[in-house]
Structure 1
């Protein structure tokens, strides 16, 4: 059974242009995702980068991250959408390319540590993706959980799909 190696609590991450970008040391994710496969996450085919599609165009969402030593147990309860993609990583950490609202920026990094460069599977969970934009006071907070583990490459996988936001993007946006 897989074990959790490292995890970061939920950070307040600023969303711009409806995405949260996760990048390596290059701090760049320069690709135009279509989100047609999952409506939630897409990996940069030419480099180390991921984009998570949010329901809000501009705002703050909660993002937690975990590094596992193998595929974590699949838990879909409480999440609207869950999807996986593979990504090839060249550096020793993953970081949010957007602005986060933490006093300690190291707290938001997901270090790959001894695992280092290689191919990883990334599972993204999302909830509260549907709603007004901007969100009204009292609306549920949009949240994401990113789980990462070393794995052989594989195609995108949609594991749960219940949000209107995800359905819209899977139809071509």
Structure 2
């Protein structure tokens, strides 16, 4: 397992981006168009849009690259999966309007991406977290090599996730 990022990720408008191969920013609506889930947009090639409950501030985020599918951790409140293929090896991860950028490389193969969330409703309710306050909502993005497959909602418990699953 390779940890790409593990810490606090700044964002606004509840958006975190993962872009590869120099592709431009994902479009908020187009990134989820035609998908079943509304939390992890993968409809635009080479990029992912991660939706959070928190509007602005910092969330807890961990991003991992694995060699095989991880065991499903049912302790997460929200779990969705999509297929993802990088547009090139250069990877850029950051929150919308954040000065924090994570730059690394990702092998160019077909991936399955699992996005897990906890406390989305709390993040939505609090709305804004200052830099000196503890994080409210937490997220995990896991990537492993896999053949393309339709996106799927594996678990949904929060009103916030339900809203986004219906909004695409």
Task: Tell me the TM-score range normalised by the shorter chain.
Answer: 0.7 to 0.9
Partner of 2:128: 134
Match for 2:91 among 94, 100, 125? 94
Distance, in Å, in 2 between the alignment partners of 1:125 and 1:22 is: 15
Structure 1 gaps, min length 5 = none
Match for 1:147 among 136, 142, 145? 142
Equivalent pairs counted in the alignment come to: 159
Residues 29, 44 of structure 1: 8 Å contact kept: no
Structure 2 gaps, min length 5 = none
Q: CA RMSD in A?
A: 2.5
1:29 aligns with 2:8: no
SS in 1 for 2:50: strand
Residues 9, 60 of structure 2: 8 Å contact kept: yes
Distance, in Å, in 1 between the alignment partners of 2:74 and 2:46 is: 26
Using structure 2 for the length normalisation, give the TM-score.
0.81
Residues 34, 169 of structure 1: 8 Å contact kept: no
Cα–Cα, structure 1 residues 171 and 80, in superposed 2: closer, same or farther, change >3 Å?
same
User: Offset of 1:124 from its aligned partner?
Assistant: 0.7
Using structure 1 for the length normalisation, give the TM-score.
0.79
Distance, in Å, in 2 between the alignment partners of 1:12 and 1:162 is: 23
SS in 2 for 1:166: helix
Residues 39, 52 of structure 2: 8 Å contact kept: yes
Cα–Cα, structure 1 residues 57 and 123, in superposed 2: closer, same or farther, change >3 Å?
same
